[in-house]
DNA sequence: CCATGCTCATTAGCTAGGCTAAGTATCGTG
DNA sequence: CACGATACTTAGCCTAGCTAATGAGCATGG
């Protein structure tokens, strides 16, 4: 265990640095529209999950419920998210992306990939292969 | 070109997703202290560069100068950053981390690595090898 | 069957971080 | 030396995040 930990520490530092930098670059590639990162992230989670309550969405996004209330409010104002009452529990609300919300999501999704895809273009096939393997591992790490 | 681009697109999506999720997890691993992410990031950049002017620091952090004025102000209030006049240019200011700032930086640095290092511990040596190669590639991509 | 306590969502009020526009001081050059 | 450019700050605005408090609905025990 100790030996493995010794191997993991410098890797953690390098990896975190790379992730931080890349994350900034990708986040800065904001398209013409005016959705903020938080709004887009919430919309994405809703889109992927299909439908969620505010509490569930707050948990997924790792923010407190009042924060999610604000963000969802903005998305509602733009007509990107709609709320329907919960069928059995009068306290809860069901949030889902509207058709327009799905369209906007798709636009942003492509714009966000643009910069990164271009950068990856310039790598060798072998390097891309390495990154593909690494991406799988990283996703498992992020979930676990 | 077209064929390479076809290869890069899905990889960009997967990679971005992994980076986004991991970035959140790492960022949430905030220690007991009360420095915000932006403050810590600025302190880190100063620490790594040795000393910078506000403009340079703003460029590195990819924010506008007025934003950096605020952040540096907070760090100054805590005694983590000190400013000295520029030797030849009266308009400019030199920012640098104080001894206390360096100590605080080191604490946070370790705390931030903690979660990731533990997660990496659970991987196989081969997987860590893949991640190490990937980290190098990603750093080049982020710079370039 | 209803009183009491829990959960969900929101509101209120605060701080931090981001922006643009405008102001001030200094530099550098014609 | 006057005038444009540059460096930094100030002012004012918005979003995002938090905690505390409020209100509405559910669920359960007497």
Buried b (16+ CB within 10 A) or exposed e, A71-106: bbeebeebebbbeeeeeeeeeeebbbbeeebeebbe
Domains of chain B: 31-143 (1.10.10.10)
Across residues B34-43, what is the average pLDDT?
A: 90
Provide the sign of the torsion angle of the four alpha carbons B38, B119, B129, B15, taken in this order: negative
Q: Is the dihedral of CA A82, A86, A91, A95 positive or negative?
A: negative
For chain A positions 63-92, those within 8 Å of chain B (CB to CB) are none
Q: What is the mean pLDDT of residues B58-82?
A: 96
Percent over 70 (pLDDT), chain A: 90
Average predicted confidence (pLDDT) for chain A: 87
How confident is the model over A40-85, as pLDDT tens digits?
999 999 999 999 999 999 999 989 999 999 999 999 999 999 999 9
Residue in B29, B130, B136 to test binding to A, most A beta-carbons within 10 Å: B130
CB contact, 8 Å: B113 with chain A?
A: yes
Per-residue confidence (pLDDT) for residue B32, from 0 to 100: 43
Please tell me the distance from the alpha carbon of residue B2 to that of residue B6, in angstroms, as a whole number.
6
List, chain by chain, residues whose CB lies under 7 Å from nucleic acid strand C.
A 53-56, 65-66, 68-70, 72-73, 83, 89, 91-93; B 36-39, 61-64, 66-67, 70-71, 74, 88-91
pLDDT at B67: 97
DSSP letter at B52 equals: B
| Cα dihedral sign, B11-B17-B19-B22 | negative
> Would you state the pLDDT for residue B4?
52
CB-based contact A116:B117 (threshold 8 Å): no
Cβ burial of B124 (10 Å; 0-12, 13-18, 19+) is exposed
């Amino acid at each position: 265990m100790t030996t493995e930990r010794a191997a993991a520490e410098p890797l953690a530092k390098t990896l975190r640095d790379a992730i931080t930098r890349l994350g900034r670059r990708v986040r800065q590639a904001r398209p013409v529209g005016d959705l903020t990162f938080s709004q887009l992230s919430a919309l994405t989670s809703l889109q992927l999950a299909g439908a969620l309550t505010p509490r569930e969405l707050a948990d997924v996004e790792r923010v407190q419920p009042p924060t999610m209330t604000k963000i969802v409010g903005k998305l509602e104002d733009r007509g990107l998210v709609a709320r329907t009452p919960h069928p059995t529990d009068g306290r809860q609300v069901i949030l889902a992306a509207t058709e327009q919300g799905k369209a906007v999501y798709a636009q942003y999704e492509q714009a966000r990939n643009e910069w990164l895809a271009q950068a990856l273009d310039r790598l060798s096939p072998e390097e891309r292969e390495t990154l593909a393997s690494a991406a799988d591992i990283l996703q498992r790490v992020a979930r676990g």
